[in-house]
Amino acid sequence: MTVLKIVQYGEPVLRAETKEVPKVSAKIQKLVEDMFDTMYANNGVGLAAPQIGEAKRIFVLDVSTDDKPAPQMVFINPVIVKKEGAMISWEGCLSFPNVFIDVKRYASVTVRAKDIKGRTFVMTPEPESLLCRAIQHEMDHLNGILFVDHVIDRFGADALLKENNLPMIDPSKILSEPDLDQVLQCSI
Ligand code: NI
């Protein structure tokens, strides 16, 4: 069991570009195992490779709850092939200890990726489910995007970041999301 150090918000690798995994080798499988060990040791639901300093297109998820077990899920070279609707999602991130904020997300996504054995799969989780939101959150990590870039209340989030000795939100990174705004304004 190997628990790796989790990169904190402010470190450049969280904003770096990531590379596709050319082959799901034994080395990659070991990395995935270490990612699960690191995620569980920190009570996380998901972890992306940049969060352990690896600029690779890999993330792992385990959305199990006490009354509803879920399998370990590995996403290698994932692509979101469909996205629909919008929702507000309350999220945290292992790279932002103790910071939980509301962010904008799609209500439904379909993802295509390779599993730990290199087999391609396509998945459409239940709309608005934790799995659906977690896939979007982790997918972002592979593109140098962080959950705070989807913030709804920037100044509220800044106060929380400051309390936790993390850098403030970078306004130039806040995403313009007219498709989400349009739906959310109708439903609020
Ligand atoms: Ni995260």
pLDDT for residue 162:
97
pLDDT for residue 182:
87
Which residue in the list 17, 20, 33, 138 is annotated as catalytic?
138
Q: What is the 3-state secondary structure (H, E, C) of the chain?
A: CCCCCCCCCCCHHHHCCCECCCCCCHHHHHHHHHHHHHHHHCCCCEEEHHHHCCCECEEEECCCECCECCCCEEEEEEEEEEEECCEEEEEEECCEEEEEEEEEECCEEEEEEECCCCCEEEECCCCCCHHHHHHHHHHHHCCCCCHHHHECCHHHHHHHHHHCCCCCCCHHHCCCCHHHHHHHHHHC
pLDDT for residue 185:
82
Confidence grade of residue 159 (pLDDT, cut at 50, 70, 90): very high
Instruction: Find the length of the chain.
Output: 188
Tens digits of residue pLDDT in 7-25: 999 999 999 999 999 999 9
Tens digits of residue pLDDT in 41-93: 999 999 999 999 999 999 999 999 888 899 999 999 999 999 999 999 999 99
Mean pLDDT of 123-137: 97
pLDDT for residue 187:
57
- Cα(175) to ligand 1 centroid in Å equals 16
- Cα(47) to ligand 1 centroid in Å equals 6
Percent of the chain's residues with pLDDT above 90: 91
pTM of the model: 0.95
The verdict on domain 12-186 having CATH code 3.30.300.20 is: no
pLDDT for residue 73:
98
- Cα(30) to ligand 1 centroid in Å equals 21
Is 17 part of the annotated catalytic residue set? no
- Cα(120) to ligand 1 centroid in Å equals 24
How does the average pLDDT of the chain come out, rounded?
96
Domain spans in the chain, listed from the N-terminal domain onward:
12-186
pLDDT for residue 168:
96
